[in-house]
């Protein structure tokens, strides 16, 4: 039996916040798969490797459903000791354990497990830039444009073995605020642009859009990610720039949000980037098949449809009209100092992926009774104050 724990430990040992280590880790993934007789295609995206491997019926063998297992190798920066994985009880601790090298390791093992089945084409796409701040050019967008999207995608972002059927959209704004310079000994003669920028951010937090809610989310997310101002200690800063990251709800219009922001006095939005929200119907047969597979693989865990506060590469598939969900193992602490993934949940996750692929043809062949999908999903939801459903954090950008 292939051991997803050993594989995850090896992946964590690469500091894939650095380009050269991403290349090395991709080389390991490619070698691991090829040593198990799985062909791997490789292409570069902005100098970083994108790997594609497939099992099951070939593309010219007929009209078979194609499912994508999507994972990323890159991680956010961490201290050197976080790239030395350690196991404490059921926890595998290290940078990327939860987001998402534990999930990727299980996906790699599941791909090998599914090699001999002949009814579903399973495509693993391993990308190097999900955590990148380069918002305009993503390797997953390019892969989908090259025809590698399939019929349904699972991106292995951390979801605690729940199924992320919705995700907030992303509106990133670069904002300029201008003031008036003066000597620091007489600040009352100037107009401090940094202090004005903080006031602008507080005003954004109180705009009407910030108080809206939806079925799965109690509010949008608003974060001041970066602020820069001032060029001398003894000078009142006359310019300040800041990056504001808004995660807006499905159903909200980013143009309306920008209009509200634009009405704030002395706030100049100089650049924006928008990712649309993700929403997959819970009655989708692929989603139903995955829910059933999770329930069978993990009978002691209630299967929930959840909303994701963060965005992920699932948006690239959705933009091309391909249903995509986030689904990953149990754990906690992603992007934090004590990130961990549950060792036992990696095995359960792998088993759920196997169940899903093996049972998928049956789900695609049988008609769903009217109203049954909605009723089934209602029974799987957990009521929480304000939302009625569950929202969890994490994801792209």
Q: What is the CATH number of the domain that holds 304?
A: 3.40.630.10
For residue 32, report the phi and psi dihedrals to the nearest 5 degrees: -60, -45
41 forms beta bridges with 52
User: In this structure, are 34 and 83 located in the same domain?
Assistant: yes
Number of C-beta neighbours around residue 377 at 10 A: 20
Average pLDDT on 314-342 reads 93
Check whether 379 has a pLDDT greater than 60: no
User: In this structure, are 15 and 63 located in the same domain?
Assistant: yes
Residue 384 falls inside a structural domain: no
User: In this structure, are 37 and 159 located in the same domain?
Assistant: yes
- Measured distance between the N- and C-terminal CA atoms of the chain, rounded to whole angstroms: 35
Residue 173 CA to residue 153 CA, distance in Å, equals 29
Residue 258 falls inside a structural domain: yes
Q: Closest Cα partner for 95 from 4, 18, 159?
A: 18
What's the mean pLDDT when you consider all of the chain?
90
Domain termination site, one of 275, 293, 319? 275
User: In this structure, are 81 and 103 located in the same domain?
Assistant: yes
User: In this structure, are 163 and 258 located in the same domain?
Assistant: no
Q: Which range among 124-138, 259-273, 370-384 has the greatest average pLDDT?
A: 259-273
396 CB-near residues (< 8 Å, 6+ apart):
130, 131, 157, 170, 275, 310, 311, 312, 313, 315
Q: Could you tell me the maximum CA-CA distance found in the chain, to the nearest angstrom?
A: 78
User: In this structure, are 96 and 142 located in the same domain?
Assistant: yes
Check whether 389 has a pLDDT greater than 50: no
State which residues form the domain around 46. 4-167+278-379
Check residue 376 and give its pLDDT: 41
Check residue 134 and give its pLDDT: 67
Which carries the bigger pLDDT value, residue 6 or residue 302? 6
Structurally, the chain folds into a number of domains equal to: 2
pTM for this one?
0.82
Which carries the bigger pLDDT value, residue 392 or residue 27? 27
Check whether 172 has a pLDDT greater than 80: yes
Check residue 167 and give its pLDDT: 87
User: In this structure, are 21 and 97 located in the same domain?
Assistant: yes
CA distances from 30 to 33, 35, 48, 215 (A): 5, 8, 14, 41
User: In this structure, are 129 and 185 located in the same domain?
Assistant: no
Residue 388 falls inside a structural domain: no
Residue 156 falls inside a structural domain: yes
CA atoms within 13 A on the CB side of 280: 31
Residue 392 falls inside a structural domain: no
pLDDT tens digits for range 220-264:
999 999 999 999 999 999 999 999 999 999 999 999 999 999 999
User: In this structure, are 118 and 56 located in the same domain?
Assistant: yes
User: In this structure, are 257 and 330 located in the same domain?
Assistant: no
Check residue 388 and give its pLDDT: 30
Domain termination site, one of 275, 292, 311? 275
- One DSSP character per residue, 52-94 reads EEEESS-TTS----EEEEEEE-------GGGGS-EEETTEEES
H/E run at residue 51: strand 48-55
Residue 43 falls inside a structural domain: yes
pLDDT tens digits for range 274-293:
888 888 998 899 999 999 99
E strands along 249-323, which residues? 268-275, 278-279, 305-308
Confidence of residue 136 (pLDDT cuts 50, 70, 90): low
Angle CA 107–300–6, to nearest 5: 30
User: In this structure, are 12 and 94 located in the same domain?
Assistant: yes
Domain termination site, one of 243, 275, 307? 275
Residue 396 falls inside a structural domain: no
Residue 389 falls inside a structural domain: no
CATH number for the domain that contains residue 190:
3.30.70.360
Check whether 313 has a pLDDT greater than 90: no
235 forms beta bridges with 183
Asked whether the bond before 218 is cis by omega within 30 degrees of 0, the reply is: no
User: In this structure, are 332 and 254 located in the same domain?
Assistant: no
Average pLDDT on 19-44 reads 97
Which carries the bigger pLDDT value, residue 229 or residue 299? 229
pLDDT tens digits for range 77-134:
999 999 999 999 999 999 999 999 999 999 999 999 999 999 999 999 999 999 887 6
């Amino acid at each position: 039996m292939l051991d997803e724990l050993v594989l995850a430990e090896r992946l964590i040992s690469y500091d894939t916040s650095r380009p050269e280590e991403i290349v090395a880790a991709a080389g390991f993934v490619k070698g691991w798969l090829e040593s198990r007789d799985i062909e791997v295609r490789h292409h570069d995206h902005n100098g970083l490797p994108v790997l594609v491997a497939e099992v099951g019926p070939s593309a010219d063998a007929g009209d078979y459903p194609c499912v994508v297992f999507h994972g990323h190798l890159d991680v956010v920066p961490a201290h050197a000791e976080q790239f030395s994985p350690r196991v404490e009880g059921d926890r595998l601790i290290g940078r990327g354990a939860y987001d998402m090298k534990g999930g990727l390791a299980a996906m790699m093992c599941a791909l090998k497990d599914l090699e001999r089945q002949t009814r579903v084409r399973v495509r693993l796409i391993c990308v190097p830039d999900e955590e990148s701040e380069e918002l305009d050019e993503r390797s997953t967008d390019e892969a989908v444009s090259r025809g590698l999207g399939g019929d349904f995608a699972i991106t292995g972002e951390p979801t605690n073995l729940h199924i992320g059927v919705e995700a907030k959209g992303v509106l990133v704004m670069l904002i300029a605020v201008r003031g008036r310079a003066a000597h620091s000994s007489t600040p009352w003669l100037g107009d401090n642009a940094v202090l004005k920028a903080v006031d602008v951010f507080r005003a954004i937090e109180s705009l009407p859009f910030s108080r809206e809610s939806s079925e799965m989310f109690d509010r949008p997310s608003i974060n001041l990610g970066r602020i820069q101002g001032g060029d001398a200690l003894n000078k009142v800063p006359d310019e300040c720039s800041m990056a504001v990251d808004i995660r807006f709800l499905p159903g909200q219009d980013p143009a309306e949000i920008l209009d509200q922001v634009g009405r704030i006095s002395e706030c100049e939005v100089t650049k924006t980037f928008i990712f649309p929200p993700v929403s997959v119907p819970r009655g989708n047969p692929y989603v139903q098949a995955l829910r059933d597979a999770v329930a069978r693989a993990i009978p002691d865990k209630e299967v929930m449809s959840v909303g994701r506060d963060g965005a992920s590469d699932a948006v690239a598939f959705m933009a091309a009209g391909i249903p995509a969900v986030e689904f990953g193992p149990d754990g906690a602490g992603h992007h934090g100092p004590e990130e961990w993934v549950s060792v036992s949940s990696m095995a359960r996750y792998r088993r759920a992926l196997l169940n899903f692929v093996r049972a998928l043809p049956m789900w695609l062949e049988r008609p769903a009774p009217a109203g049954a999908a909605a009723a089934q999903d209602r029974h799987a939801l957990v009521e929480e104050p304000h939302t009625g459903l569950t929202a969890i954090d994490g994801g792209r950008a």
